[in-house]
Amino acid sequence: MSILSGKNILLGITAGIAAYKTPNLVRLLIKAGANVKVVMTPASKDFVTPLTLSTLSKNPVHSSFVNEESDNAMWNNHVELGLWADYFVIAPATANTLSKMANGTCDNLLLATYLSAKCPVYFAPAMDLDMYKHESTKTSFETLESYGNTMIPATSGELASGLVGEGRMAEPEDIVEFIENDILDQLPLRGKTVLITAGPTYEAIDPVRFIGNHSSGKMGFEIAKAAADFGANVILVSGPTHETVSHSLIDVKRVTSASEMYDVVHQFYTTSDIAILSAAVADYRPKNVASQKIKKKEETFSIELEKTKDILKSLGQAKSNQFLVGFALETQNEITNAKGKLKSKNLDLIVLNSLNDKGAGFGGSTNKVTFITKSEEIIEHELKSKAEVAKDLMQQIIKQHA
């Protein structure tokens, strides 16, 4: 999954021959998981049709303040379009439009939307060689960048005039890659590796039976998504769960038992910057595992159990520069028990939730948590979706880790 997944992208198209590439750009943005709307200058419709773009984006295409062909015309709200967008991409951006943007000229819907936009703006210049090198065009570039806009550099190649040189709009694939990398470079966890555990572990009794718990793994998977959204490279070690995730920054390692999870976690721990152990690891496992299915014969049946390896404690002992986060699921003396775990396992932060709180715990889509920091600061949160809890957790980690 791309970092653009779920983002609202407004694509502005101006009247340059490179507009013929924009249907492919729309297609690639949609493929990356983005929601796309298109706003065009009136003259750009001579180069690419609104019908093509609306079909690909699955949204109406806007090019004027009102639809003059309709008797029930409604005003196309440029403010609303600007506020909808998470990112505004103007491609191709002609010398004419760039000059107007730089000087605050507002004579069409695209320019009005640009002046209303509160989101990051990217522009991909497209023009002939002499226009690209003209001092007024260079001034437009410099002015727009001084306003906080980001230029996607033009490339060299054969131009519409037959000249060869700079001014060719970047290819759609390169535009998408440029935007993705630029967004990632600005995220607070860019270049960091976050190790996360999720789900239960199953400890075998015989080939068909096991000791386990009700953990769905949803909380750990949401934490992985939130960490990736903040730019981290995520290694997600998951016990048996139906949860899935598809993200270019998340590498899922599937395990079954506590012993397997211990081995995989330690394999990646030394190269991790942050470790978040949200998995509900079994505390005990059968001391002897039957090689064949155990038959039902006696009225009672006993299983001798032995402790599993304490993964969290072992990481606390091996910690060098890692920021280590643990979870505590309690039913009584919650704060006291969580503080004890925080200290005994050498954690930097512990996430406490109580089965006494309605909507918290295993299986559901919500959670109610309390963060306790290494300095024993207590930060309580209201009942929220697990996705919101995951975001809160990552923001707390960034705050402490920074």
Residue 70 confidence (pLDDT) above 70? no
Q: Please indicate, yes or no, if residue 1 is contained in any of the structural domains.
A: no
CATH of the domain at 136: 3.40.50.1950
Over the stretch 355-398, which tens digit does the pLDDT of each residue have? Answer: 776 766 666 788 899 999 999 999 999 999 999 999 999 999 99
Strand-strand pairing, 284-286 and 164-168: unpaired
**What average pLDDT does the segment 256-264 reach?**
98
Arithmetic mean of pLDDT over the chain:
92
Domain count within the chain? 2
Residue 3 lies in a domain: no
Whether 213 is a known active-site residue: answer yes
Identify whether 378 is part of a domain.
yes
What pLDDT, on a 0 to 100 scale, did the predictor assign at position 363?
63
Judge whether residue 253 has pLDDT over 80: yes
Catalytic pick among 213, 233, 321, 367:
213
329-335 long-range contacts, Cβ below 8 Å, gap at least 24?
Answer: 329/280, 329/353, 329/354, 329/355, 329/361, 330/354, 330/355, 331/355, 331/356, 334/370, 335/370, 335/372, 335/378
Nearest to 173 by CA among 28, 9, 353, 45: 28
Q: Are residues 173 and 211 in the same domain?
A: no
Q: Are residues 128 and 180 in the same domain?
A: yes
Give the integer Cα–Cα distance in Å for 26 and 181. Answer: 18
- pLDDT, residue 248, reads 86
Based on the fold, state whether residues 104 and 175 are members of the same structural domain: yes
**pLDDT band at residue 67, thresholds of 50, 70 and 90?**
low
Domain span at residue 374 reads: 193-401
Asked if residue 75 has pLDDT above 80, the reply is no
Among the candidates 185, 213, 235, a domain finishes at 185
Residue 265 identity (one-letter amino acid): V
Output the domain CATH number for residue 230: 3.40.50.10300
Domain end (from 153, 185, 217): 185
The per-residue pLDDT for range 267-281, each reduced to its tens digit, is 999 999 999 999 999
Residue 161 clears pLDDT 90, i.e. is over it: no
Domain assignment present for 395? yes
Is a pLDDT exceeding 60 seen at residue 73? no
Gap between the Cα atoms of 59 and 57, Å rounded: 5
Q: Which residues contact 346 (CB under 8 A, 6 or more apart)?
A: 316, 317, 319, 324
Q: Shortest CA distance to 366 belongs to which of 346, 390, 342, 348? A: 390
Residue 98 shares a structural domain with residue 197: no
